[in-house]
Structure 1
């Protein structure tokens, strides 16, 4: 193994994974999660939109934290995604939806996206076996999600100025 691979593997092994319903998140975890979403989706992607959409309170959240730094109240958030359950009021909405997938700048390039998706799919399949899973991917990530069994179920379309596509895995 080369030095960069060892470093990436070591960094992944040091992560603290948390899979929680919204009610089980601490206020500091919510604050950190919303801050990371704003930093990545609003600031980095220069995309002004209403991130706080009322869906977080019924969602499950996967948070990956890096190791503590000196004097930190909370370790740095490395990665995050949320999982929305099917809408029981909508007969057409029978899929679990993965969304708000992000890796913070400090933790990019170590394979964290793969690890997050693998871990989230394991949790979803254990908690809701047999339920199809859908996600609204940025179009350039079709290959990434395709490697996990997701296939396009829509045409590419723009959302907030960024090309997206709906993808689904049975």
Structure 2
């Protein structure tokens, strides 16, 4: 049975962290052929929390929640293993991350950069396109924002 977890980097076992990072590299660097520095240092920031869904010792989906210098919360690195897609796992993670962001920073907007073809999917969680399209590693993206819950 898949189980959802949330933790700061320093509280995650080496084995689990390896599986989270392996999944992110498998999806973003290998599958999407985006050669970029996946390990960008943001996982180490004190406000960052990693979320993941695990079953039978495998990480099936992951994302991270952090805080930008602007003060906005940010969700990123949303990834699901190819064989686990279509089961609603990333949706479960998104709901958990939005709830956690609103709990930690109640008067703060939540930002993310969505691959353009997924903008509608993120819209299901209250995100709206908030700026012009841009390209990252030759993949069209759009900035999106979910307004602060108290606004």
The TM-score normalised by the length of structure 2 is: 0.92
Which residue number corresponds to residue 62 of structure 1? 51
Q: Distance in 2 between matches of 1:160 and 1:49?
A: 8
Which residue number corresponds to residue 107 of structure 1? 84
Q: Distance in 2 between matches of 1:33 and 1:24?
A: 13
Deviation at 1:23, TM superposition (A): 1.3
1:169 counterpart (134, 146, 149): 146
Asked if structure 1 preserves the Cα contact closer than 8 Å seen for 2:4 and 2:93, the reply is no
2:113 counterpart (136, 156, 165): 136
Q: Distance in 2 between matches of 1:152 and 1:81?
A: 20
Question: Any residues of structure 2 matched to 1:19-58 within 5 Å, and which?
Answer: 19-58=6-45
The TM-score normalised by the length of structure 1 is: 0.82
Deviation at 1:111, TM superposition (A): 1.4
Q: Give yes or no for the alignment of 1:82 onto 2:71.
A: no
Deviation at 1:129, TM superposition (A): 1.4
Which residue number corresponds to residue 90 of structure 1? none
Q: Which has more radius of gyration?
A: 1
Count how many residue pairs are aligned between Structure 1 and Structure 2.
Answer: 145
Deviation at 1:126, TM superposition (A): 1.5
Q: Distance in 2 between matches of 1:95 and 1:116?
A: 19
4+ runs deviating over 4 angstroms:
none
CA root-mean-square deviation: 1.0
